[in-house]
């Protein structure tokens, strides 16, 4: 158990450093990162933080309700869904991209999603 956690943590730091470098070089969009350089975590682990809400770009933001979307992470199906607590929708292209990045990091930390599906 301990070993697994340590491996994943080491994995995280390696991935973080790699994505930092790629992003600095302009070869990776911030939206497509699987790691978060603000919280030093996998993005699906900290995406529910207020720091991941952006009213301008509409990441996790419902414009109609002026409300942050809530995040539901399903570790079994490896899906991440964001929705507005007021209207139940409120999604945008930026939010969908954030969901995809979260699902990528979730799948990555869980190993091969194909094996889990069975
Ligand atoms: Zn974060
Ligand atoms: Zn709404």
**50-98: per-residue pLDDT in tens?**
999 999 999 999 999 999 999 999 999 999 999 999 999 999 999 999 9
User: Which residue(s) pair with 79 in the sheet?
Assistant: 74
Q: What's the DSSP call for residue 73?
A: E
State in Å: Cα 48 to ligand 1 middle. Answer: 8
State in Å: Cα 16 to ligand 1 middle. Answer: 12
Q: How many domains in the chain?
A: 1
Decide if 69 contacts 90 (C-beta within 8 A). yes
State in Å: Cα 50 to ligand 1 middle. Answer: 9
Q: Which residues surround ligand 2, an ion (CB under 5 A)?
A: 62, 64-65, 84, 86-87, 90
State in Å: Cα 21 to ligand 1 middle. Answer: 17
Give the pLDDT of residue 10: 74
Q: Long-range contacts for 31-40 (Cβ within 8 Å, ≥24 apart)? A: 31/59, 31/94, 31/97, 31/98, 31/101, 32/97, 32/101, 33/101, 34/101, 34/104, 34/105, 34/108, 35/105, 40/12, 40/16
pTM of the complete model? 0.86
Tell me which residue range forms the domain holding 111: 2-117
State in Å: Cα 36 to ligand 2 middle. Answer: 26
Helix 2-24 to helix 93-109 angle (10° resolution) is 140
């Amino acid at each position: 158990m301990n070993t697994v956690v340590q491996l994943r943590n080491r994995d995280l730091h390696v991935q973080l450093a790699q994505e930092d470098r790629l992003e600095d070089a302009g070869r990776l969009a911030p939206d497509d990162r699987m790691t978060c350089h603000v919280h030093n975590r996998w993005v699906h682990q900290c995406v529910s933080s207020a720091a991941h809400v952006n009213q301008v770009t509409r990441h996790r933001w419902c414009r109609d309700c002026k409300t942050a979307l809530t995040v539901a992470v399903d570790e079994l199906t490896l899906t991440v869904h964001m929705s507005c607590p007021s209207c139940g929708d409120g999604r945008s292209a930026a939010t969908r991209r954030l969901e995809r990045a979260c699902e990528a990091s979730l799948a990555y930390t869980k190993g091969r999603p194909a094996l889990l599906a069975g």
